[in-house]
Amino acid sequence: MACGSWGLASLVPSHPRFHFSRVCHVHFHSKDFMSTEPFFNQEERDAVYRVIRARRDIRHFIPDRTIPARVLERILRAAHQAPSVGLMQPWRIIHVHDRALRDKLKAEVEKERLATADALGGRQDAFLKLKVEGIAECAELLVMVMAPDDGTVLGRRTLPREMAISSCACAIENMWLAARAENLGLGWVSFFDPRQVAGLLGCPDTAEPLAILCLGPVESFPPAPLLALQGWREEKALEALLYHDRYGEEPAPPEGGV
């Protein structure tokens, strides 16, 4: 492992479990992958689509559980293998070990949860019944921070901030799918003031926390998104969101009529 620059600090044994202590570049070899074949067989393709369908935003975790270091590393490597605009790799992942810091992050989320409830008017009571985070009981707590702008122009001259955020979101999605493949739950918590969380984490002034990520073992995975199951909001069908040639235009009927 040779020193260089990337957004994910290496795992080293200085922490009793695992600790991110320095920024390193990882050279990937064929042994890092299950297969070196460039194309996937049907079984492999089916597994990918199954993981995508089964992914859920998790709020309930089994408390007092741990994740093996090798599994956590696989999930973090999956995040780091995400695409990024201009290869800017703006993700910085902070692994929260300090229990007191975890408690402070939970308190920040609770403040925003109550503020959100106040803003919902007539749906306040229904919202307060929803569980919006699993910070206290999840096995591992991670925070996705968007790094200060490094000046990358390629691919983001007209949308610099949007492309940096999108790149971080790709890393989160990779992490989410990898966690699901490992039969672990992951929950994306967005109820927080980024300025307050940045202060707690000692972030540079222009770095921005985007997500608090709760990761850990679960009793089960819900068959559908929790907000849909709890009657908060219905999912839209793909057909309602897929347009053709112009925004809002539905496909033309097939030739010869229906």
Furthest-apart CA pair in the chain: how many Å? 70
Looking at residue 34, what is its pLDDT?
Answer: 58
Give all domains of the chain, ordered by start, each with its CATH number. Answer: 56-232 (3.40.109.10)
> Which amino acid, 230?
Q
**Alpha-carbon distances, residue 248 vs 33, 165, 177, 234, 242 (angstroms):** 42, 26, 30, 20, 8
**Alpha-carbon distances, residue 236 vs 169, 233, 240, 242 (angstroms):** 21, 9, 7, 11
10 Å CB burial of residue 211 (0-12, 13-18, 19+) is buried
3-state percent breakdown (helix, strand, coil) of the chain, nearest 5: 40, 15, 45
Q: How far apart are CA 226 and CA 129, in angstroms?
A: 12
Give me the phi and psi of 201, to 5 degrees please. Answer: -95, 0
Contacts of 7 (CB under 8 A, 6+ apart): 80, 89, 90, 91, 92, 93, 147, 171
Residue 206 or 9, more confident: 206
Global pTM reads 0.84
Q: Phi/psi class of residue 88: alpha, beta or left (left: φ > 0; alpha: ψ in -120 to 50)?
A: alpha
Judge whether residue 2 has pLDDT over 90: no
Cβ atoms of 180 and 124 closer than 8 Å: no
Q: How far apart are CA 126 and CA 11, in angstroms?
A: 42
Residue 28: which H helix or E strand, with range? none
The 10s digit of each residue's pLDDT in 5-41 is 334 443 333 344 444 333 333 344 434 445 678 899 9
Tokens at 118, concatenated: 């106040």
Residue 58: which H helix or E strand, with range? none
The 10s digit of each residue's pLDDT in 132-141 is 999 999 999 9
Residues found in the chain: 258
The 10s digit of each residue's pLDDT in 73-117 is 999 999 999 999 999 999 999 999 999 999 999 999 999 999 999
